[in-house]
Amino acid sequence: MAQFTLDLNDDQKQVRDWLHGFAADVIRPAASEWDEREETPWPVIQEAAKVGIYSLDFYAQQFFDPTGLGIPMAMEELFWGDAGIALSIVGTGLAAVGVLANGTEEQIGTWIPQMYGDANDVKIAAFCSSEPDAGSDVASMRTRAVYDEAKDEWVLNGTKTWATNGGIANVHVVVAVVDADLGSKGHASFIVPPDTPGLSQGQKFKKHGIRASHTAEVVLEDVRVPGHCLLGGKEKLDERLARARERAKSGGERVKNAAMATFEASRPAVGAMAVGTARAAYEVALDYARTRSQFGRPIIDNQGIAFQLADMRTQIDAARLLVWRASWMATTGKPFTSAEGSMSKLYASETAKKVTAQAIQILGGNGFTREYPVERMHRDAAIYTIFEGTSEIQRLVIARTLSGMPIR
């Protein structure tokens, strides 16, 4: 039997150190500028593509790490650099996960490379699920996809919101209703290829945090996509809908919907992002407490400061362990019998908000200014308890999993 260990292997350490160097040397120096500009940091994305970080090959290598730690390790280091820029670099990954979770091998091989492009011609993608009246309540989704059998095309109409890279992406993955009677089980995911008529960007949001990441509405007006753009294919969809109808009649077990499959696969990665931001704020606070003197001694000598730092470090390490456990379970095929994926996202998100707030407190007035990065980190951390399932939704998922109640 293999010996239990939490040590990273040599290859993982090498990747971690490489990512940390990129985050320190490229992302951090640019963080304040792009936060103020509230624009997609194309030069940083292009630099990431040149060195191989923004590429299908890199994410595939991390995704297929047999320990499951490749993706969370990468997310933590990049988001340690800056959450807004890092989200611009990894935002395409959510659309890619949508294809991996629901697509055929042919669709995976065709579309995911087009989401990234190459170092000379960088592409981006967007995953579009949330709507103005359907965020956590995915069953209320109104975007419709109607099949035109004569032309073997799907016609999409509706408005999506809170889409990272929405409207500026080369490839959009859109979740739409194909059978309204089935609620969330009547959803399917579609690829909208580049330059498809009828897709446009709606409102671009001016956000509290992660301001270097583009977030916008996506408007779909009679958007026609070929039949082969239905992820998984029509035969598989028809079989899934038939099973859902039978279960609805008999009151039997429910099947997962397309959006939930994507979110469940990505929640530990979001937890890792939160860990990176929390760790960054903690390190700034620790360094400040060691060097800032009041009443003739460093403020870390004061128990009130020292105990805060002790709690911050403990919570960060606990959050990382929950993320690593969920990631390892997902990779090794172990079911989330206690909603371990949601646990990791919940605890890490709440930790990031708390730790960044404590960092501001430790820095005092300096922490409240934009001269120090903890102010930006605190604004950025607020998103982790909101996107890809709010903390309240995570608690609901955990509670229903533990009780045996259905998760709708």
Number of C-alpha atoms within 13 angstroms, CB side, residue 209?
A: 22
Output the CA angle 49-54-56, nearest 5 degrees: 115
The closest of 290, 252, 280, 235 to 83, measured between CA atoms, is: 280
388 belongs to the catalytic site: yes
State the Cα torsion 356-357-359-365 to the nearest 10°.
Answer: 130
Q: Which two tokens stand for residue 206?
A: 């001016």
CB 374 within 8 A of CB 285: yes
Catalytic option among 76, 246, 388, 392 = 388
Query: Which residues have C-beta within 8 Å of that of residue 24, sequence separation ≥ 6?
Result: 81
Backbone angles phi, psi at 102, to 5 degrees: -125, -15
Question: What is the residue type of 52?
Answer: G
Question: What is the residue type of 296?
Answer: G
How long a stretch of residues is the chain?
Answer: 408
The alpha helices in 232-365, defined as continuous H runs, are: 234-250, 258-291, 303-331, 340-363
Catalytic residues: 388
